[in-house]
Structure 1
Amino acid sequence: MAVWTGGAALLTQLLLLVLAFALSAVIGIERERQYKSAGLRTHILVGLGAAMFTLVSAYGFTALGMPATDPSRIAAQVVTGIGFVGAGVIFVNRGNVVGLTTAASIWVTAAVGMACGAGMPLLAIAGAALHLIAVGSLPTAERMLRRRSGAAVTVRIDPRSAALPELLERCEASGAKTRIEDLRRSGDGVEVNVHVRGRQAETDRLVASLGSIDGVLSVAAVAARP
Structure 2
Amino acid sequence: MQTLAWSLFDPAAGQGGRQFAEIGIALLLSTLIGAERAIQQKSAGLRTHTLVGVGSALFMEVSQHGFNSVLGLDQVSFDPSRVAAQIVSGIGFIGGGLIFVRRDAVRGLTTAATVWLTCAIGMACGGGLPLLAVAATLVHFLVVRGYPWVTRRIPALASVGQADVRLTYRAGEGVLPRVLEHCTDKGFRVLQVHVDSRERVARSGWGAEGADDADVRDATRTVRLEIDGPGNANDLVGALAEFDGVLDVAAHATDSAD
Listed as ranges, the gaps of 5+ residues in structure 2 are 1-8, 168-179, 192-225, 253-258
Match of 1:47 among 29, 36, 53: 53
Letter in 2 for 1:75: A
- Distance in 1, matches of 2:162 and 2:28, equals 37
Question: What is the TM-score normalised by the length of structure 1?
Answer: 0.66
Give the SS at the match of 2:101: strand
Aligned to 1:219: 250
- Distance in 2, matches of 1:147 and 1:17, equals 38
Q: How does 1:13-52 map to 2 (within 5 A)?
A: 13-52=19-58
Q: Contact 1:20 / 1:116 at 8 angstroms: preserved in 2?
A: yes
Q: Contact 2:56 / 2:126 at 8 angstroms: preserved in 1?
A: yes
Report whether the alignment pairs 1:6 with 2:10: yes
Deviation (angstroms), 1:78: 0.1
Instruction: Quote the sequence identity (%).
Output: 44
Aligned to 1:122: 131
Q: Contact 1:177 / 1:197 at 8 angstroms: preserved in 2?
A: no
Q: Deviations over 1:2-61 (max 9, x none)?
A: xxx725851110110010010000011111111100000000010011000011001111
Deviation (angstroms), 1:196: 4.6
Report whether the alignment pairs 1:98 with 2:107: yes
Deviation (angstroms), 1:142: 2.7
Deviation (angstroms), 1:154: 7.7
Over the aligned positions, Cα root-mean-square deviation in angstroms equals 3.9
1:70–1:90: structure 2 CA closer, same or farther, 3 Å change rule?
same
Aligned to 1:190: none
- Distance in 1, matches of 2:249 and 2:145, equals 26
Higher radius of gyration, 1 or 2: 2
- Distance in 2, matches of 1:147 and 1:119, equals 38
Aligned to 1:160: none
Deviation (angstroms), 1:140: 2.5
Give the SS at the match of 2:98: coil
Aligned length: 177
Aligned to 1:177: 189
Letter in 2 for 1:136: R
Report whether the alignment pairs 1:145 with 2:149: no
Give the SS at the match of 2:57: helix
Match of 2:119 among 110, 114, 118: 110
1:152–1:93: structure 2 CA closer, same or farther, 3 Å change rule?
closer
Deviation (angstroms), 1:139: 1.7
- Distance in 1, matches of 2:229 and 2:114, equals 27
